[in-house]
Structure 1
Amino acid sequence: MKEDNRNLLLAIVMSVVVLLGWQFFYGVPQMEKQKQIAQQNQQAQSQSAPAGASNPAATAAPPGQPAGSAAPGSAPGAASTQVSGTREQALAASPRIKIDTPKIAGSISLAGARIDDVSLKAYHETVDPKSPIIVLLSPAGGPNAYYSDFGWVAAPGNNVAVPNATTLWTADSQTLTPAKPVTLSWDNGQGLTFKRVISVDDNAMFAIRDEVENKGGAPVTLFPYGQVVRQGKPHTLGYYVLHEGLVGYLGEQSGLQELTYDKLDKEGALSPGTVGKVWKDAVGGFVGITDKYWAAAVIPDQQRKYEGRFSSVETGTQRTYQADFLGEGITVAPGANTASQARLFAGAKEVAAINGYEESQQIKRFDLLIDWGWFYFFTKPLFFVLDWIYKHVGNFGVAILIVTVLLKGLFFPLANKSYASMAKMKALQPEMTAIRERYADDKMKQQQALMELYKTQKINPVAGCWPVLLQIPVFFALYKILFITIEMRHAPFFGWIHDLAAPDPTNLFNLFGLIPYTPPAMLHLGLWPIIMGITMFIQMKMNPEPPDPVQKMMFTWMPVFFTFLLGSFPAGLVIYWSWNNLLSVTQQGFIMKKNGVKIELFDNIKRMFGKGPPPAPAAAAPAKPANSNKK
């Protein structure tokens, strides 16, 4: 028994150390970091600078067209990317076409035909509907430059002029809407006329058709490209369960590729000053840059081969990150014309929209733009169930409660057997104690006698683990859903829970707001985590108290540790755990009563205050035979 207690104590202590270590070194710092990021982003939006912003054309060059070179496949060159003004000044530095759709607003710069101004109408920075809307793309020359452009790269050794970042296009309209595309045109003065037709749907998908007409006397070979460029390393949350950075699906051979900004900076050199990775001969998919809830991704022609690339280059005082594709060369004969198709997604990663694009536009594995994680096969279906219920009840919190009931019903037969086996184990506790005492000096005979008892009584000693094991994948899948899906962002429950994806905002240590005091993050303990701790405490007190005082102490304090641990978890997850505990208590109580096992809840609680009856003594062990230890 002493050895068993020592092992149990060691296991519990190590678990507690891990939990508290996670809370102190990871959970709490991430809460503080998230607050700082929100503040920094808000400050960046309103950042001011001296008047007279410079031309925002200074950017990373198209793929395969570094400064002073036009060879496809070369490293992305970059000019100065110094921030010289506010976002508003950078926007005013070039003529623009207005973008107006139900979901996004913004503009396209006629200098370079760059899509560099996109804001998301439906999403605000905080739960306050009066807070600023989310700004996704911003022009160069201002803070947090983030944009996309498309075009052509000339063949090696060919000095033909192609549109670049300073090219001033002519537009046939001043506004781009879902009902009215815009056509841009530019003549290079060498016999080539370039046209770009840009259309946009009701959500956040742009379609770009680049056309070239050759009026010259010689054939010209051009390579189509598309890219997303981000100047400066953005602030990231740094969670292990969330990918932020460059992402792409580069055909079936290369599959899903995800590189964080830091990891990309450590990749091998593509050219002097530029690091990154290249995937050749890809067919289908996309490349882009993703945040937690938003993304910008360029999508090449799904039927043609292309070269995909993630790159990072030092540009002045900051780094420029780029995700791009370079298509196969197209030769335009004299008197002929050609065209290239591509798309840009720049918006919120709404599950329905992303899946809809994958199906309707045949974009290979576009759903992987959302980071469903390793448990994709379970996480995504669970989200669809939650979303379907939400559409009927109108509240994601209620949907979580209903899904928990459905999961309990689905696993009820297995849980029923588990709890019944546990109930029988409790009823046989006196006999098990007697066996351990009888063979205290012979562990092998002790185990054989216990196994024979289990076999006779038809008990599975590990059956009690199943309810907990079944809860683990559900817990992680729901955590992932709450953490990554924008549908859960700012989703309210009832009362004080206005965002299921954020921790419970209340705090015990300022009496839930009655005291004007902001406790440190380590002491963040909301009402729902307390409710969860109470339900966990009740569940543990339903069972007979362990006879060993060390075990008794550990099981008594375990709900307290979990209560503090879950203080920094999303409120939706804590609500799920609380509700699941309550359902488990009800189910366990019913099964224990059905099997004639006493429910020790009230007696155990009374004993805590010295008022309850003492625990029932174990049955006396049979007398040990005089020669039982002889060999």
Structure 2
Amino acid sequence: MKDDQKNFLLFAVIAALLLFAWPAIMHWFFPQQQAASTQMVNGKQVAKPGATPGIDSPAALRDRAIVLADGPRIAIETPSLKGSINLKGARIDDLVLLGYAETTAKNSPPIRLLSPSGAQGAYFAQFGWQGAGVQAPDQNTVWQASGTKLTPTTPVTLTSKTATGQVFRIDLSVDQDYMFTIRQTVANVGQAPVSVTPFALVSRAERSKDVDQWAAHVGPIAVAQGAAKYINWGDIESTPTQLSTTGGWVGYSDHYWLTALVPDQRVPVSLQQRGTAKQTYQADYSLAEPLNLAPGKQVSYSSRFFAGAKEVKQLEAYQSKLGIVQFDRAIDWGWFGMIEQPIFYYLDWLFRLVGNFGVAIILLTITIRGLLFPIAHKQFESMARMRVIQPKMKALQERYKDDKQRQQQEIMKLYKEEKVNPLAGCLPILLQIPIMFALYKVLLLTIEMRHQPFVFWIRDLSAPDPATILNLFGYLHFTPPSFPAIGVIPVLLGVSMYFQMKFNPAPMDEVQKQVFAIMPWMLMFLMAPFAVGLQVYWITSNVITILQQQWLYSRHPVLKQSMKKEAPAK
């Protein structure tokens, strides 16, 4: 009895540590939980209030509208983007993503990706030249534009002539989605040869508001020498990261959004990521070798600039059609990429088939459990054999209760004689762990799941359940901390786990019985901050398990009879 009390006390301590340490564990080892995009107020669901030039450092911040009205601009209009280009400095510095809103509210504004220098959250791209013996345009140069609007069918040319006799031109075009094509040309109409180097940069005045995680990168990113480099913000504040490569790209990754400078994939370049102690950052590239230009000659260099959403299929299409090396690595799939990507494509196909992402997750769960059913069948067969030999095991435990080593030897001998594998029941659980983690990352990392509704109050399957029970669905005017904020869906998860465990044969050890009794309610709290879509997967899996158990009990009567015999003792 004393041993049982010690074991239970040890379990209680471990359970308490797990409960209170779980937020810190999640912060390190799991992708950052997306905050619920809605909240419950008085029982109603409402939206929440949502070697290149030096790093840009404006003297003071002004209102964005004032900054945008400061100088001449040309508009950007595509089916996916809306914004403008600043003719002063030839900067793409004003861009919103028309297909994505900040919240699930009907009147929510679109996601703003780029903002001009001098405004809050300045974030922009610039293209230019450096050179010897030449006065190249700079951030104060006002370019002349060939048109007033950049669209997929109307490209625009920017022109500037310098005092040293060179004519600089930037030909800009954009596709239907998120890719700009930039052709930089310089014509030497002077009397002396010049040496020029085209460059491009992305300047960012502050870190992303999304949190960088061990399993979900947010921050500086680059692809060089065929490998993706996920770089920490702090690392480049003290020491710039410089990478030489032929083929690759450099930019910044948010949770769902990306900016990327894509140089000519056939020309050697030097990629660079750098920052300052004030947490301002710049990604840029320049050619490894300058371009020498004789009098009367001209030279051109083409590159691309991506600014938009990290849509899986779109990134892969750019990678294959434009030959951009490892462009799909903008999404940090991580170790389980070989599982995550098939799950994403199957889930996306189901969604397009049924039109509801929650239903698609349920169908995915049915598919996975169907594939694992042969293993589950073997698990139950092993459980049935274990139940048959339990009287013999109890006899051995009683006979050798003072000799634990001999007891284990005799039990292992019994397993061998009866052809029982005590670990067979663990296999389905072990197989589900990478599947659960992969689905979790798919729901959190891929933008295709963002703001997808299910039923009733569930308007975003990639966020936690907003219907918090502890404040009576918003009727009590306080917001509980994220850890104990239990929603309706987590409660359903706990209930389904409870009934699933009730159908399992009770373990012989009393401490194990206590552990299994409390586990469903621990999981209810631990899973509450996770995406609702993952909880829908788990609840569906538990319901399917219960149905499978009912059918398998009918196939293995000895297991059912054993449970009935144990029932009165509970």
Runs (5+) with no aligned partner, structure 2: 40-47
Q: What is the rounded CA distance, in whole Å, between the counterparts of 1:433 and 1:591 in structure 2?
A: 25
Residue 326 of structure 1 corresponds to: 286
User: How does 1:443-522 map onto structure 2 within 5 Å?
Assistant: 443-513=404-474, 515=476, 517-522=478-483
| Structure 1, 446-455 or 594-603: larger mean CA deviation | 594-603
| Mapped pair 1:14 → 2:14 | yes
| Structure 1, 2-11 or 390-399: larger mean CA deviation | 2-11
Q: CA deviation at 1:182?
A: 0.3
Residues 567-604 of structure 1, C-alpha deviation per residue, up to 9 Å, x if partnerless? Answer: 11110011111111111222233223312234499979
Q: What is the rounded CA distance, in whole Å, between the counterparts of 1:338 and 1:31 in structure 2?
A: 46
- Does the 8 Å contact 1:289/1:297 carry over to 2? yes
- Does the 8 Å contact 2:247/2:266 carry over to 1? yes
Residue 165 of structure 1 corresponds to: 139
| Mapped pair 1:111 → 2:91 | no
Tell me the SS of whatever aligns to 1:521: coil
Residue 82 of structure 1 corresponds to: 59
Residues 10-38 of structure 1, C-alpha deviation per residue, up to 9 Å, x if partnerless? Answer: 4674355234311378679x9999589x9
Residue 248 of structure 1 corresponds to: 222
Tell me the SS of whatever aligns to 1:257: strand
Residue 165 of structure 2 corresponds to: 191
Tell me the SS of whatever aligns to 1:326: strand
- Does the 8 Å contact 2:81/2:95 carry over to 1? yes
Tell me the SS of whatever aligns to 1:568: coil
Residue 203 of structure 2 corresponds to: 229
Change in CA separation of 1:332 and 1:601 when aligned onto 2, cut-off 3 Å: farther
Tell me the SS of whatever aligns to 1:375: helix
Equivalent position to 1:278, from 238, 242, 254: 242
Residue 298 of structure 1 corresponds to: 261
- Does the 8 Å contact 1:136/1:347 carry over to 2? yes
User: How does 1:69-468 map onto structure 2 within 5 Å?
Assistant: 77-78=54-55, 80-154=57-131, 158-252=132-226, 255-265=227-237, 267-268=238-239, 276-280=240-244, 282-314=245-277, 318-328=278-288, 329-468=290-429
Q: CA deviation at 1:351?
A: 1.1
- Does the 8 Å contact 1:483/1:501 carry over to 2? yes
- Letter matched to residue 283 of structure 2: A
Tell me the SS of whatever aligns to 1:341: strand
- Does the 8 Å contact 1:81/1:231 carry over to 2? no
Residues 341-384 of structure 1, C-alpha deviation per residue, up to 9 Å, x if partnerless? Answer: 11110011111111111111010100001121221111112111
| Mapped pair 1:525 → 2:486 | yes
Question: TM-score scaled to structure 2, two decimals?
Answer: 0.92
Q: CA deviation at 1:221?
A: 1.5
Question: TM-score scaled to structure 1, two decimals?
Answer: 0.83
- Letter matched to residue 540 of structure 1: M
Residues 292-319 of structure 1, C-alpha deviation per residue, up to 9 Å, x if partnerless? Answer: 11111100000111111110124xxx33
Tell me the SS of whatever aligns to 1:21: helix
- Does the 8 Å contact 2:56/2:205 carry over to 1? no
| Mapped pair 1:613 → 2:568 | yes
Q: CA deviation at 1:335?
A: 1.4
Max Rg structure? 1
Cα RMSD (Å) of the superposition? 2.7
- Does the 8 Å contact 2:387/2:562 carry over to 1? no
- Letter matched to residue 257 of structure 1: K
- Letter matched to residue 294 of structure 1: W
User: % of aligned pairs identical?
Assistant: 41
- Letter matched to residue 119 of structure 1: V
- Does the 8 Å contact 1:180/1:199 carry over to 2? yes
- Does the 8 Å contact 2:35/2:463 carry over to 1? no
- Does the 8 Å contact 2:189/2:296 carry over to 1? yes
Runs (5+) with no aligned partner, structure 1: 46-63, 67-76, 269-275, 616-631
Change in CA separation of 1:428 and 1:109 when aligned onto 2, cut-off 3 Å: same
Q: CA deviation at 1:327?
A: 1.2
- Does the 8 Å contact 1:105/1:120 carry over to 2? yes
Change in CA separation of 1:291 and 1:475 when aligned onto 2, cut-off 3 Å: same
| Structure 1, 583-592 or 558-567: larger mean CA deviation | 583-592
Q: What is the rounded CA distance, in whole Å, between the counterparts of 1:182 and 1:313 in structure 2?
A: 34
Q: CA deviation at 1:441?
A: 2.6
Tell me the SS of whatever aligns to 1:613: helix
Tell me the SS of whatever aligns to 1:446: helix
Q: CA deviation at 1:413?
A: 1.6
- Does the 8 Å contact 2:207/2:219 carry over to 1? no
Q: What is the rounded CA distance, in whole Å, between the counterparts of 1:33 and 1:394 in structure 2?
A: 23
Q: What is the rounded CA distance, in whole Å, between the counterparts of 2:478 and 2:55 in structure 1?
A: 49
Change in CA separation of 1:256 and 1:3 when aligned onto 2, cut-off 3 Å: farther
Q: What is the rounded CA distance, in whole Å, between the counterparts of 2:198 and 2:35 in structure 1?
A: 39
- Letter matched to residue 460 of structure 1: N
- Does the 8 Å contact 1:24/1:522 carry over to 2? no
